[in-house]
Chains A and B, each alone.
Chain A
Amino acid sequence: GDSVTQMEGPVTLSEEAFLTINCTYTATGYPSLFWYVQYPGEGLQLLLKATKADDKGSNKGFEATYRKETTSFHLEKGSVQVSDSAVYFCALGLYSSASKIIFGSGTRLSIRP
């Protein structure tokens, strides 16, 4: 079935370090791919998305490229900040008669000053 697998956390980095959070997916058809972020005590927010192969989504310094050949959508940021500490969810969206989104289990990121 359709599913998303992302690297387990927690991930702890120092400020200004390079970040990669791996995400791979299994899906029939041609899904859209998303990264959502959840800050402590808040709801899910859409961070970025890509709707077709080779698209790059970007927002707030984060980037992810839709790689159909490796079924991956890894999240990257060149220089993380303390304010990036949150839980990050990779997700895939399926669209037939209506939208449906399936989430990975989440990766907790902690940034040390």
Chain B
Amino acid sequence: EAGVAQSPRYKIIEKRQSVAFWCNPISGHATLYWYQQILGQGPKLLIQFQNNGVVDDSQLPKDRFSAERLKGVDSTLKIQPAKLEDSAVYLCASSSTRAGNTIYFGEGSWLTVV
């Protein structure tokens, strides 16, 4: 079974530029998550989707971050404009009640804002 796929793996941008990350969850997983992991900290949930609806986006900085999952499968996370403090790893994860609700993570997209 293929895991959670993310791209790009690495991205370096200048502040005030924009960036987009893509995620394809495990096939059949209804729930998709985007986490932000700043160096030395634990992952923080940015947004959670159930199919194509948003379950929780309380910690998403909506003035600059946006995410969508239009067809209930893959998802895109966008940052515009980026700030230095956005430098982090952006982790996508997915889960399914049929798979015991275990959450599986992708390898992450490493963002450096300079």
Q: Which residues of A contact B (CB under 8 A)?
A: 4, 32, 36, 42-46, 49, 89, 91, 93, 95, 97-106
Which B residues are in CB contact (< 8 Å) with A104? Answer: 42
B48 touches A43 (CB 8 A): no
A44 touches B45 (CB 8 A): no
B106 within 8 A of A: yes
Q: Within the complex, what minimum Cβ distance (angstroms) separates B78 from chain A?
A: 21
User: What are 17 sample pairs from A and B whose C-beta atoms fall under 8 A apart?
Assistant: A4-B42, A36-B105, A43-B91, A44-B93, A44-B105, A45-B105, A46-B103, A49-B102, A89-B43, A91-B42, A98-B31, A99-B101, A101-B33, A103-B42, A104-B42, A105-B42, A106-B42
Which A residues are in CB contact (< 8 Å) with B48? Answer: 98, 100
How far, in angstroms, from A44 to B41 measured CA to CA in the complex?
Answer: 13
Q: Which residues of B contact A (CB under 8 A)?
A: 30-31, 33, 40-45, 48, 50, 55-56, 91, 93, 95, 97, 101-108
Which A residues are in CB contact (< 8 Å) with B41? Answer: 105-106
A95 touches B101 (CB 8 A): yes
Which B residues are in CB contact (< 8 Å) with A44? Answer: 43, 91, 93, 105
A93 touches B101 (CB 8 A): yes
A89 touches B31 (CB 8 A): no
From B42, B45, B95, B107, A43 is in contact (CB under 8 Å) with B107
